[in-house]
Amino acid sequence: MRKLRGVLISLEGCDGCGKSTQAALLCERLAACGLPVGPASASGAVIREPGATPAGEAIRNVLLHGPSSLAPWTETLLYAAARAELVETVLLPELEAGRVLVLDRFLDSSLAYQGFARKLGVDEVLAVNEPGLHGLLPDVTLVLDVDPVVGLARSGAGDGRADRIEAEGVEFQQRVAAGFAALARRFPERVRLIDGFRDVELVAADVEAAALEAVADAGLRLGG
Ligand code: TMP
């Protein structure tokens, strides 16, 4: 694997856990510390998954708003394909350039949603993602832990705009949340659970502290 000088931070959790809000706040706070946040061409921006590349956004559309039924492995391979495109065309070059990247979902979503909730198996889902990852894993993965029932009500499902995954319902989201908890136990050095069922500012403070720890571990000096 190539030597990377940047930092990769992923935010995860079940639908409606608040990670998109937290990802945006984290970018603002890291940038305020003087760090080079986001891709150079979109400084300060969160990178969303699936998406953030032309192919990734097209694949996202199929996954979330396309045919109402997709075979589980079709779904899994489409997420992996969007991820492979993102890794090769955005993440690796930006990390080589020393950028600090904040991802709104990454590999662990596939492990929790497809591996656990769709019951395809974590190792099996990891195996089909590996060729596209080129050895890349986040420096830290922060999972916002919320009650999946509350999360689903806060998501598009709460106001009748559920996408294909949100439409799977509460039991599916409960398996997703259990999956993320299992991932935190299996990869304790990388995956951390953060109580997301608190005031936005309190959650943001914990997210920022964990992210800054990862930046410090990666040896980046905080600028002015
Ligand atoms: P978002 O709406 O939070 O951006 O995520 C898109 C949806 O896709 C969300 O319901 C989670 C789901 N998803 C998976 O099932 N597997 C994956 O690998 C990723 C990245 C997202």
Predicted local distance difference test score (pLDDT) of residue 223: 53
The verdict on residue 201 lying in a domain is yes
Which pLDDT score, from 0 to 100, does residue 67 have? 87
**C-alpha to C-alpha distance for 175 and 167, rounded to whole angstroms:** 14
Q: Quick one: pLDDT at residue 4?
A: 75
Residue 86 Cβ < 6 Å to ligand 1: no
The reply to whether 165 falls in a domain is yes
**Ligand 1 binding pocket includes 49 (Cβ within 6 Å):** yes
Q: How many domains does the chain have?
A: 1
pLDDT at 26: 98
Query: Does 33 fall in a domain?
Result: yes
Instruction: Select from 148, 59, 64, 137 the least CA-distant residue to 103.
Output: 137
Does residue 60 sit within a domain? yes
Residue 159 domain-assigned (yes or no): yes
Does the CB atom of residue 48 touch ligand 1 within 6 A? yes
Nearest residue by C-alpha to atom 8 in ligand 1: 165
The CATH number covering residue 85 comes to 3.40.50.300
Residue 16's domain spans which residues? 7-217
Give a yes or no: residue 1 inside a domain: no
Mutate to test the pocket of ligand 1, among 48, 105, 141, 172 (most ligand atoms within 8 A of CB): 105
Terminal alpha carbon distance of the chain: 32
Residues of the chain with pLDDT under 50: 1, 224
* 222 located within any domain: no
Q: Is the peptide bond before 138 cis (omega within 30 degrees of 0)?
A: no
For residue 166, give the ligand 1 atom closest to its CA: 10
Q: Is 73 inside any structural domain?
A: yes
Q: Which of 192, 140, 149, 201 is nearest to 172 (CA)?
A: 149
- The pTM assigned to this predicted structure is 0.96
